[in-house]
Copies of this chain bind each other. A is one copy, B any other.
Amino acid sequence: MQEELDKRRPGRTPLDTPRKERDKVYIFSGVMEDDITTGTPVGLIIPNDVIEDEHINKHKSYKEVIRPGQAGYTFFKKYGQFADNIGAGRASGRETAARVAGGAVAKAVLDTMGIDVIAFITEIHGIKAQDNITYEMAKANYRKNDINCPDLEKAKEMIEELQRIKEQGDSVGGVVEIIARGVPAGLGEPVFDKLQATLAHALMSIGAIKGIEFGAGFGHTKLKGSESNDVPYYDEASGRVRFKTNRAGGILGGISNGEDIRIRVAVKPTPTISIPQGTVNMYTCENVKVEFNTRNDPSICPRIYPVCEAMVRIALLDALYVAKGYRAISSNIDPRWDLL
């Protein structure tokens, strides 16, 4: 679990925010000697050990002023004058440490079922990695550079761009891709909880993500049906139905089809920048100009991919749990059809 958290932890590379957060996790329930879960909830706490007085006081001074691109204004409208306003408050990216810790528990279960989830970066500020990075390439080059982009050549350009942007006090966004391999066919519910719906819910709940697509995604809008449909065939080697292409991204009719689940998410630029911006004092309703000197990441991408892995793992485990329960009480399904 600590290993997963360390992927997300800031301050590891020159590209990160210089904030020092140890992200040390303590397990206080659900696990006994020999690291075995007892079946009861696993309770975790990650102390917020970085909050120093100077940092808190600086943020307090921003209490009345909307920070552009941040959630301060919307929290204020939702919770009123009592909204937590230290740092980004509840909307701080720090909450994703808990997601990564939870995902590490899900990973332990998925590992026993041969399900592997991997996320990596394929675009930073318009600089794109090569098309269709395979699972094998992503595994081979996993975390080989500071931004975890498996196209090692293009990654150099991306890193240079990030350094340039950082010097400007600005920030940029990018694209994270996620591949889930080994997911059995049959996961997902047929109507409201389609697998792409629950995966989208999980991933779109991560603060900075503004778009998601499965398989060919928005590219489907340029294709004809005769090009878009993946052709099924019987694969002698594996003894199961496979598909010649994977434009569906591993999901048909909301249910997994046994191919890789492939997802791309759009990450917006870090909203906190060191460039003067116009804004409003929410208490006095005055239009003002502000410049923030808080420590920030030039891009969230290099730290958001483990969060994406975690959320996909959690959503898949939920779907597995539902499917396995259903299968266990269905007494008369012909065992030939059953992969789960």
A contacts, CB < 8 Å to B: 28, 32, 36-40, 45, 66, 68-71, 73-84, 88-91, 95, 109, 112-113, 123-126, 165, 168, 170-175, 184-188, 190-194, 196-198, 200-202, 204-205, 207, 209-234, 241, 244, 248-249, 251-258, 266-273, 275, 277-280, 282, 285-287, 317, 320-334, 337-340
CB contact between A224 and one of B68, B95, B171, B285 (< 8 Å): that residue: B171
The copy count of this chain in the complex is 4
What are 23 sample pairs from A and B whose C-beta atoms fall under 8 A apart? A32-B82, A39-B75, A39-B330, A45-B45, A69-B228, A69-B230, A74-B253, A74-B256, A78-B188, A78-B255, A112-B331, A113-B331, A170-B226, A196-B210, A197-B202, A198-B201, A200-B200, A220-B266, A225-B271, A228-B268, A232-B278, A234-B280, A234-B285
Q: Is the CB of B221 within 8 A of A175?
A: yes
Interface of A is mostly: mixed
Q: Is the CB of A223 within 8 A of B90?
A: no
> Which residue of chain B lies nearest to A175 when distances are taken between CB atoms in the complex?
B221
Give the distance in Å from the alpha carbon of A211 to the alpha carbon of B217 in the complex.
5
Q: Is the CB of A74 within 8 A of B185?
A: yes
Given contacts A80-B333, A190-B90, contact A252 B174 (CB under 8 A): no
Give the distance in Å from the alpha carbon of A332 to the alpha carbon of B77 in the complex.
14
Give the distance in Å from the alpha carbon of A294 to the alpha carbon of B307 in the complex.
44
CB contact between A205 and one of B168, B172, B197 (< 8 Å): that residue: B197
Given contacts A80-B333, A191-B205, contact A217 B266 (CB under 8 A): yes
Give the distance in Å from the alpha carbon of A223 to the alpha carbon of B69 in the complex.
13
Q: Is the CB of B71 within 8 A of A254?
A: yes
A259 to chain B, nearest CB (A): 11
Measured between beta carbons, the chain B residues less than 8 angstroms from A232 are 66, 68, 73, 278-280
Q: Is the CB of A75 within 8 A of B212?
A: no
Give the distance in Å from the alpha carbon of A257 to the alpha carbon of B75 in the complex.
9
Q: Is the CB of A241 within 8 A of B282?
A: yes
A337 to chain B, nearest CB (A): 5
Q: Which 6 A-B pairs have the closest CB atoms?
A: A71-B253, A325-B325, A211-B213, A80-B333, A39-B79, A324-B328
Give the distance in Å from the alpha carbon of A331 to the alpha carbon of B108 in the complex.
11
Measured between beta carbons, the chain B residues less than 8 angstroms from A287 are 233-234
Q: Is the CB of B170 within 8 A of A225?
A: yes
Q: Is the CB of A82 within 8 A of B269?
A: no
Count chain B CB atoms within 10 A of each CB in A75, A89, A124 and give the residue with the most.
Answer: A75
Measured between beta carbons, the chain B residues less than 8 angstroms from A317 are 329
Measured between beta carbons, the chain B residues less than 8 angstroms from A234 are 280, 285-287
A131 to chain B, nearest CB (A): 15
